[in-house]
Structures are given as C-alpha cells and as structure tokens.
Chain A
Amino acid sequence: MLEVKVKAGVPIPLDVSFQVAAGEVLALVGASGSGKSTLLRTIAGLYQPSEARVAVNGAVWLDTGAGINLPTRRRRLGMVFQSYGLFPHMTAAGNVMAALEYLPKPERAAEAARLLALVNLGDMERRRPAELSGGQQQRVAVARALARRPEVLLLDEPFSAVDRSTREKLYQEIRNLRRVLNMPVVLVTHDMSEAQMLADRMVVIDCGRMLASGSAAEVMIDPAALRGVGLREAGSVLNARIVAHEEDGLTRLDTSAGSLLLPRIEGAAGAAVRVRIMAHEVILSRDAPQGLSALNILPVTVLALRQGDGPGMLVELQAGEETILARITQRSALAMGLQAGDACHAILKTMAVAQDNVGVMQPVI
C-alpha cells in the first residue's frame, strides 16, 4: 500500500492525496505541466515539496512535518524514466545488475538474465543501449526497475518515446507483467487511452490539483475530470473475448452486451481483450435500425444523462454488465425524449475503433 499526501504552494503548487493498493495500477493523468511528474518524483525522493507525506507498507519515506526524508537510494522503488536513463556504458545485463547490489556478486548475473528473459530480452543481454531499439531500451529499463524487488513501481511517461506499434506491444507486456507485479504501480501519462487501457484507477490532475479520482468509468462521467483531460477523450472500456477471426479481415468479439465486429485484432481465439470506445463515436437510436452500414448495434438502457457546459451531453448506458458512454447533442437528446431507464440501441462503426484502443491480454489457460 502506497499512501501519498502532498500540499505545497511554492514553487510548484500541489494539493493531491491518493492511495494505491498492492497489485493495483494507478494512473496520474494530466496535461504537461500539471504537476503529475513532480508527484512521481516526490514519491521517489527526487523532489521535496514543502509539505508532504509518503508512506509505503506502513514505513514512512517522507514526512516533512516529522522531519523524515529517506534518500532515494534507501527507498526500495523501481522507476522507469521517460527517456529511460539507461547507463550508456553498460550492457543490458550490466544495467540490470547495477540495481542488484543487494545480492551477493555471484548471484547477480543469473538474476539479471532471469529479469531480461521476463521482458523478452533474453538474447540481448550483451548489447549496449545504443545497440537496442527504443522499445528494447524501455524493456531494459523495466527489468532494471524490477531488479530491486521494489515496494513501489513508478512509470514516468514510459511509452512516450516509442512509436505506435511498439507502444501497443509494450502495453501488452506491461499487462502480462501485472501477474507478477504484486506492488503498487503508479503510471504518469498525458494519454487518456493509455491510462484507461492499463490502469485500474486514475487521478486526474490539473495545475497541481486533483480534479477527479476513481475507476476509469467513474472518472469518465465526471464533468470536472473531462474538463481536465478534454471532452474528446471521453470513452468507456469494454471487456471482451476474441471469438473468431472472420474471412473478410474482421475479428468477432463477445461481450456481456452482445457481439462486436472490429478490424482485425492480433490475438488467439479466447484471448481477453479490452476495447476502448470513444463516447463521440457512439450513435443512439430509439428503434433497432435497419439498412445501416454500421455493424455493431447493441441493445442498451439509459442510466443517466449528464449535461455539459456546451451544446453536448454525455449519456451513460448500461450494456450487459458494462457501461458505455455516448456523447450526443442536447438537441438530439431532446428530440428523442431520452430519459433515464429508457431502452435504446447504441450503434458503433467497426472502423471507428482504432488499433490503439484495443488491448489484448495473455490468453487465459
């Protein structure tokens, strides 16, 4: 359990407190300059706000009131930096071994090899960072962060320096790693999709203040949070399972709300998938539509309507066991006479789901 409480005025105003349980991934989301990285650096001991308390599993790492401030090297943590911070003169194995000083010397090489194998870099042990791709460097950084058997894992925009396709692979790797990560994980990101796909909970930060916190679904229906992250980021995550890859290149998924057809997803039949559905891509219809090009039509029930500041409106929908968000105009809602409890249909174009918004988990065996 990680407990963080920060209250500072100068030079960086901060007023944030949150807790992260073991095995839980918390995303700190906000624009650049919002103070989210400063919070992460506070946990690591790389920055000291005027008033803060950081405790991990009951042990106090920082308490400005009590005058406690453990130096970074005494805080058992793993940190993955935005540009990785790898030691350029050491091999991949050397980088990992640098964090293994707590082990007797003869055991370090074997442990480093084990960790590099864990991030699928078993054959790259002897390469230097300059000889590795961006994605491979990031994996070395993850292996090094895990080497210390950290009590807290901190990820500072760890995917921002790699291209899209690599990022998707790394997401998958992090999700797979979660089975062996039994410590609190804090992920700092400006990317809402990244936060929604990887994190259990998120804290939205704007100008050093907490705009909202809670599960992705809770944050997404919070107008205050949406002001921080941008309305176009509003969306919901559906848990699905791959049923089959169809001949025309589409993949059929099964959700508790019904079946979905999406552009081809890499993954075996049976694999669990998280699909992020953007609220502005969802169309609502009272009647079951006929003769429509959209392939995905899910029967839903209106849970709530939330009016925004502008001409738009966020509609919360129950779809099977999931919640879907739709952003429509107030004019449409009025014309349709939508009210909580109404049954209607949510329509989603197959092609409206981008590759970035699909995350495949390891098949459950």
Chain B
Amino acid sequence: MDWTALWLSLRLAGWTVIILLPVAVFFGRFLAHREFWGKGFVEALVALPLVLPPTVFGFYLLIGFGANSPVGQFWQGLFGHQLVFSFEGLLIALVISNLPFAVQPAQRGFEAIALDVREAAACCGMSPLSVLWKVELPLAWPGLMTGMVLVFAHTLGEFGVLLMVGGSIPGETKTIAIAIYDRVQAFDNHGAGVMSATLLAISLVTITITFWLSRRVGQRFG
C-alpha cells in the first residue's frame, strides 16, 4: 500500500473541493439566474472537460503551463520552481477539469429555486448576502453537495490529465490512481489490489453518504 500516494490524492481531492465550492456557488448561481448573450457558449466551455479526452486536455495544459510558456515563466519567477510536475500544477489541472462536475449540479440546484421564492426574499427586505445564506444556499444545497462529492470522487480517480501534467514523481505528483497503474506494470497485483479496494471503499462510502443526505433533504421539503 502506497500511503504517500493515497495521502497525496486525498490532499489534492480536498483542495480541489475547497477551491471549487465557492466557484460552484457563484458561477452556478450566475448561470442559473442570468440570461446574457453567449450564455450557451459559456456553458459549453464549462462542459468541455466532460467530452475532451484527458490526454488532449493534459497536453494543452502542459503546453500552456510549461517552463517555456508565459504562465510557467511567471510561476517560476514567483516561486522558484516550475508549475508543471508540481502539486500546484496538478491542483490547477484538477480544478479546471472538474469544473463541469461542480458547476453543473450547482446550476441545476439554483435553477430549482422558484422565482417567486427569490422575489419574496427581496420583498422581505433581506440583504443579498442574507438571501444567499438563508434562502438560496439551503435550497441549492443538494445540488452543491452532489457536485462536491462528484468532484472528490472524480479527483481520486483522475489519471490521464495528471499523468500528462504531473508525470509520476513519488510524494509530489504520484497519485493513488497512478500508483495502481505503476503496481500493475510491475506485476504487483497484490499491491494494486489493496489500493484499488481502498479506492472502491472510499468511493462507495462517499456516494452512499450523498444519497442518504439528499434523501433527507428531500423528505424535509417534500
């Protein structure tokens, strides 16, 4: 069992969720409530990572963030190490590739809030922050939570993009999914089996918790 790889994957998954939660709230809410020119294109852009082959996506990130790219050079100047093949590089790749998993369920969650409920909140004199905190977030919560669980589970299993952008540096960019692949390559089926079973258990537990929570929410408002 490669504990370093598991710990790296959990850290990456946790940080991706932490970064994407506020993004999902504001971007999902914006897309749900606003109509603007080019909205369809923006939505398509958000959904793109769903259909783009991970290797293609990883290739563009490698070019875009590489040592010779402006972004890569800016990063190098700022932190003294390159962005690709680093924890931060993986995190940025994961945040972008998981955007649709976070934003789409959040958007559906905010869209499900009836217009008159939002208007009633304004008529009650509630401040915009109060409306978000007391009315919209509790009602959109099932959608937000579904998105976060999807992001967490998907991040643990992400393979192609991370291999392209991160390589497989132990303790730095070698995640659990890549470690499993490594073990299989080394004919260590036992090691791969243990890690696979661990991932399976984590995935099953998270998805069960989500279903249980969303059913409870449904019963409360039913």
Q: Which of A86-94, A170-178, A217-225, A234-242 contacts B (4 or more CB under 8 A)?
A: A86-94
Is B120 close to A, CB under 8 A?
yes
- Cross-chain contact B125 with A99 (CB below 8 angstroms): yes
Is A98 close to B, CB under 8 A?
yes
- Cross-chain contact B123 with A77 (CB below 8 angstroms): yes
- Cross-chain contact A89 with B125 (CB below 8 angstroms): no
> What residues of chain B lie closer than 8 Å to A98, measured between beta carbons?
121, 124, 126, 134-135
- Cross-chain contact B126 with A73 (CB below 8 angstroms): yes
Is A78 close to B, CB under 8 A?
yes
Tell me which residues from 96 to 137 in chain B have a Cβ below 8 Å from any Cβ of chain A.
114, 116-117, 119-128, 130, 134-135
- Cross-chain contact A101 with B117 (CB below 8 angstroms): no
> What residues of chain B lie closer than 8 Å to A44, measured between beta carbons?
119, 123
> What residues of chain B lie closer than 8 Å to A74, measured between beta carbons?
125
Cα A261 to Cα B105 with chains together (Å): 62
A128-B221, A130-B222 known; A87 and B122 CB under 8 Å?
A: no
- Cross-chain contact A101 with B222 (CB below 8 angstroms): no
A82-B116, A87-B117 known; A72 and B222 CB under 8 Å?
A: no
> What residues of chain B lie closer than 8 Å to A46, measured between beta carbons?
119, 122
B interface residue count range (under 10 / 10 to 19 / 20 to 34 / 35 or more) = 20 to 34
Cα A46 to Cα B114 with chains together (Å): 14
One digit per residue, 1 when the CB lies within 8 angstroms of any chain B CB and 0 when it does not, for chain A 58-90 equals: 000000000000011110111101111111110
Is B34 close to A, CB under 8 A?
no
Cα A74 to Cα B123 with chains together (Å): 9
List the B residue with the shortest CB-CB distance to A76. Answer: B125
- Cross-chain contact A128 with B220 (CB below 8 angstroms): yes
One digit per residue, 1 when the CB lies within 8 angstroms of any chain B CB and 0 when it does not, for chain A 104-140 equals: 0000000000000000000000001010000000000
> What residues of chain A lie closer than 8 Å to B121, measured between beta carbons?
87, 98
Is B23 close to A, CB under 8 A?
no
* Min distance, Cβ B138 to any Cβ of chain A, angstroms: 5
- Cross-chain contact A87 with B222 (CB below 8 angstroms): no
> What residues of chain B lie closer than 8 Å to A77, measured between beta carbons?
123
Is B139 close to A, CB under 8 A?
yes
A interface residue count range (under 10 / 10 to 19 / 20 to 34 / 35 or more) = 20 to 34
Is A144 close to B, CB under 8 A?
yes
A88-B139, A128-B220 known; A81 and B126 CB under 8 Å?
A: no
List the A residue with the shortest CB-CB distance to B117. Answer: A85
- Cross-chain contact B125 with A101 (CB below 8 angstroms): yes
- Cross-chain contact B125 with A102 (CB below 8 angstroms): yes
- Cross-chain contact B119 with A88 (CB below 8 angstroms): no
> What residues of chain A lie closer than 8 Å to B123, measured between beta carbons?
44, 72-73, 77-79, 99, 145
* Min distance, Cβ B24 to any Cβ of chain A, angstroms: 19
- Cross-chain contact B122 with A71 (CB below 8 angstroms): yes
- Cross-chain contact A101 with B130 (CB below 8 angstroms): yes
Cα A79 to Cα B121 with chains together (Å): 10
- Cross-chain contact A72 with B122 (CB below 8 angstroms): yes
Is A167 close to B, CB under 8 A?
no
Tell me which residues from 192 to 222 in chain B have a Cβ below 8 Å from any Cβ of chain A.
220-222
Tell me which residues from 2 to 50 in chain A have a Cβ below 8 Å from any Cβ of chain B.
44-46
Q: Looking at B117, B126, B128, B139, which has the most chain A CB atoms within 10 Å of its CB?
A: B117
Cα A128 to Cα B219 with chains together (Å): 12
Is A147 close to B, CB under 8 A?
yes
> What residues of chain B lie closer than 8 Å to A85, measured between beta carbons?
114, 116-117, 119-120
Cα A82 to Cα B116 with chains together (Å): 9
Cα A99 to Cα B222 with chains together (Å): 23
One digit per residue, 1 when the CB lies within 8 angstroms of any chain B CB and 0 when it does not, for chain A 256-278 equals: 00000000000000000000000
Cα A88 to Cα B160 with chains together (Å): 43
> What residues of chain A lie closer than 8 Å to B119, measured between beta carbons?
44, 46, 72, 79, 81, 85
Pairs across A and B, CB under 8 Å, 9 listed: A46-B122, A73-B123, A73-B128, A76-B125, A84-B116, A87-B120, A88-B221, A98-B121, A141-B120
Given contacts A73-B122, A89-B220, A128-B221, 6 further A-B contacts (CB under 8 A): A44-B119, A71-B122, A73-B126, A77-B123, A85-B116, A87-B121
